[in-house]
C-alpha cells in the first residue's frame, strides 16, 4: 500500500482521458457543498480537497455497471460451482498453510473457516480486488448517480478520512466499481469501523497485511453478533415440498429450531429448541435444496445480503478445511511409512 501523503499530487501528468471518462467539475454546486463539508466538519484544507477532486474522473463504465439490470439469477447449483472448484479450493489450502498461525489465533474453528470462505468468494484470496480507482468510483456515484448519491457521498467522505488516517494515496487506491477495497472488499465506512491492526505495525492495511485482513474479517463478523461454537447452516429435509407453511421472504430468523421441527423439517443440531433459525430453500441440480440457517447464518448476511452467498462461503470454507486436513494426514502418513 502506498505511503504517500494523502494529497501529494503525481509528478507526471495523468494519461489522456478516455472518451468514456470526464474530469469531475469542482465548480458544481453539490461538489462545492461537499468540499465545504469536509472543511467545516473534518478540518480538511479546502484547496487540497478541491485539487484532489479535480483529479477524479466521472466514468461511464461505473455508472453502467451499477445501473445494469440484474441478470438472470443463477440457480444455486450453478452459483455454487462458480466458487466451489478445484482451483479455488487449492488456492484456499495454500492460503491456509501460509497463514495458519493467524487463522489459528481465531479460537472458533467455524469462524476461521468462514473467514477463509469470505476471502475466497470475495477476491480469490486477494487475486481479484478491483480495477477502478476508488476515488473515481465514489466521486462518480456521489455526484452522478442520483438513486444512491447520498450513500456514496458519505462513502466518499469516509474514504477521504480513511486516506488521511491510514496514510494511503487516494489517487492510487484501486477497488470495485462501487468503491469496495482490498482482499475483503470493505467499503470505506466498514474499513474505518471494523478493520483492525492485527500485526501491530500501527496501520490497518487491507492490501498488504494478511494479518490485518484476516483479523478484520473476523472482527466484522464478531461485532455483528457471531456466536462461537455455533454452526452457520445444516442440511435439512422436508417430507413434502409444500412451502406455504413457511415465511421465506427476507433473511431474518423468523423461526426457531422447535418451530421448524413442528413444521416437519428434519435436521440435526445441538442448539436448544428456542434458538432462532430459518429455512433456506435453493434450486439444486436435481430439485429443491434445503438447509436450516442459524444466528451465524444471519451474521454472514450482514457482509453480503444473499443466502446463496452465505452458503457458498460456508461450503468453500469447509471444503478448504477438509482438503487441508486430508493433505496433513497424507503427509503424516507418508512420513510414517518412510520410517
User: How far is Cα 103 from Cα 53, in angstroms, rounded to an integer?
Assistant: 39
pTM comes to 0.90
Phi, psi (deg, nearest 5) at residue 108: -90, 115
pLDDT of 126-178, one tens digit each?
999 999 999 999 999 999 999 999 999 999 999 999 999 998 899 999 999 99
Give the mean pLDDT of 273-297: 97
pLDDT of 324-339, one tens digit each?
988 766 655 555 555 5
Name the residue among 327, 262, 266, 289 with its Cα closest to residue 90: 327
Third-level CATH fold of 21-68+129-208:
Helicase, Ruva Protein; domain 3 (1.10.8)
Domain boundaries, the chain: 21-68+129-208, 233-293
Contact 35, 26 (CB under 8 A): yes
**What pLDDT band is residue 71 in, cutting at 50, 70 and 90?**
low
* Position 7 pLDDT exceeds 60: no
Residue in 30, 36, 71, 122 annotated catalytic: 122
User: How far is Cα 96 from Cα 116, in angstroms, rounded to an integer?
Assistant: 8
User: How far is Cα 193 from Cα 22, in angstroms, rounded to an integer?
Assistant: 32
- For the question of residue 122 being annotated catalytic, the response is yes
With the CA atoms of 212, 85, 109 and 119 taken in that order, what torsion angle do they form, in degrees rounded to the nearest 10?
A: 20
Q: What is the DSSP letter of 244?
A: T
Long-range CB pairs of 149-154 (<8 Å, 24+ gap) are 152/179, 153/34, 154/189
Phi, psi (deg, nearest 5) at residue 2: -65, 140
Mean residue pLDDT across the chain: 91
**What pLDDT band is residue 21 in, cutting at 50, 70 and 90?**
confident
User: How far is Cα 198 from Cα 275, in angstroms, rounded to an integer?
Assistant: 32
Contact 229, 245 (CB under 8 A): no
pLDDT of 73-123, one tens digit each?
789 999 999 999 999 999 999 999 999 999 999 999 999 999 999 999 999
Q: What is the DSSP letter of 304?
A: S
* Position 305 pLDDT exceeds 70: yes
Amino acid at each position: 500500500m502506498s505511503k504517500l501523503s494523502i494529497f501529494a499530487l503525481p509528478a507526471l501528468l495523468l494519461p489522456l482521458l478516455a472518451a468514456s471518462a470526464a474530469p469531475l467539475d469542482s465548480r458544481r454546486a453539490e461538489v462545492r457543498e461537499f468540499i465545504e463539508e469536509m472543511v467545516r466538519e473534518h478540518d480538511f484544507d479546502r484547496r487540497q480537497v478541491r485539487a484532489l477532486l479535480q483529479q477524479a474522473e466521472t466514468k461511464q463504465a461505473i455508472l453502467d455497471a451499477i445501473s445494469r439490470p440484474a441478470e438472470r439469477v443463477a440457480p444455486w447449483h450453478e452459483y455454487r460451482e462458480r466458487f466451489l472448484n478445484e482451483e479455488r479450493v487449492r488456492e484456499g489450502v495454500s492460503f491456509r498453510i501460509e497463514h495458519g498461525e493467524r487463522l489459528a489465533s481465531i479460537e472458533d474453528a467455524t469462524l476461521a473457516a468462514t473467514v477463509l470462505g469470505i476471502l475466497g468468494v470475495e477476491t480469490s484470496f486477494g487475486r481479484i480486488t478491483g480495477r477502478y480507482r476508488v476515488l473515481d468510483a465514489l466521486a462518480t456515484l456521489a455526484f452522478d448517480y442520483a438513486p444512491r448519491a447520498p450513500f456514496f457521498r458519505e462513502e466518499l467522505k469516509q474514504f477521504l478520512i480513511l486516506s488521511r488516517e491510514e496514510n494511503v494515496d487516494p489517487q492510487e487506491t484501486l477497488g470495485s466499481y462501487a468503491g469496495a477495497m482490498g482482499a475483503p472488499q470493505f467499503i470505506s465506512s466498514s474499513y474505518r469501523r471494523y478493520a483492525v491492526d492485527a500485526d501491530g505495525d500501527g496501520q490497518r492495511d487491507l492490501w498488504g497485511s494478511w494479518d490485518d485482513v484476516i483479523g478484520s474479517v473476523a472482527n466484522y463478523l464478531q461485532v455483528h453478533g457471531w456466536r462461537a461454537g455455533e454452526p452457520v447452516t445444516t442440511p435439512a429435509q422436508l417430507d413434502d415440498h409444500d412451502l406455504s407453511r413457511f415465511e421465506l421472504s427476507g433473511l431474518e430468523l423468523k423461526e426457531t429450531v422447535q418451530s421448524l421441527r413442528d413444521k416437519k423439517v428434519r435436521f440435526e443440531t445441538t442448539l436448544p429448541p428456542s434458538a432462532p433459525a430459518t429455512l433456506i430453500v435453493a434450486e439444486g441440480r436435481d430439485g429443491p435444496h434445503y438447509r436450516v440457517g442459524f444466528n451465524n447464518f444471519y451474521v454472514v448476511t450482514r457482509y453480503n445480503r444473499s443466502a446463496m452467498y452465505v452458503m457458498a462461503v460456508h461450503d468453500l470454507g469447509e471444503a478448504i478445511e477438509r482438503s487441508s486436513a486430508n493433505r496433513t494426514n497424507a503427509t503424516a502418513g507418508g512420513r510414517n511409512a518412510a520410517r
